Structure 1
Amino acid sequence: MSSERTEVQVRPGVEGDLTALTDIYNHYVRETPITFDTAVFTPEERRPWLLSHPEDGPHRLMVATAADPTGNSQEILGYATSSPFRPKAAYATSVEVTIYLAPHAGRRGIGTLLYKALFEALAGEDVHRAYAGIAQPNEASTRLHERFGFRHVGTYREVGRKFGRYWDVAWHERDL
Structure 2
Amino acid sequence: MITAVRPADPARDAADCAAIYAPYVTDHWASFEIEAPDAAEMARRMALYGPTHGWLVAQCDGQVVGYAYASPHRERAAYAGSCDVAIYIAQAFHGRGIGRALYDALLQGLRERGYHAAFAGIALPNPGSIALHEALGFTPVGIYREVGWKHHEWRDVGWWQLLL
The alignment's TM-score, normalised by the length of structure 1, stands at 0.89
Match of 2:56 in 1: 62
Runs of 4+ with >6 A deviation: none
Query: For the aligned residues, what is the CA RMSD?
Result: 1.1
For residues 18-68 of structure 1, give each alpha carbon's deviation from its aligned partner in whole angstroms, at most 9, with x where no partner exists.
10001111111111100000112221122221111235x4x110110011x
Does structure 1 residue 9 correspond to structure 2 residue 7? no
Q: Which has the larger radius of gyration?
A: 1
Given candidates 132, 139, 147, the residue that maps to 2:135 is 147
Gaps of 5+ in 1: 68-73
Which residue identity does 2:4 align to in structure 1? Answer: Q
Aligned-pair identity (%): 39
Does structure 1 residue 126 correspond to structure 2 residue 122? no
Whole-angstrom distance in 1 between the partners of 2:85 and 2:122 = 10
Which residue identity does 1:97 align to in structure 2? Answer: V
Gaps of 5+ in 2: none
Match of 2:94 in 1: 106
Q: Number of aligned pairs?
A: 163
> Does the residue aligned with 2:49 lie in a helix, a strand or coil?
coil
Whole-angstrom distance in 2 between the partners of 1:82 and 1:149 = 17
Whole-angstrom distance in 1 between the partners of 2:44 and 2:56 = 16
> Does the residue aligned with 1:104 lie in a helix, a strand or coil?
helix
Which residue identity does 2:103 align to in structure 1? Answer: Y
Does structure 1 residue 93 correspond to structure 2 residue 90? no
Whole-angstrom distance in 2 between the partners of 1:146 and 1:54 = 24
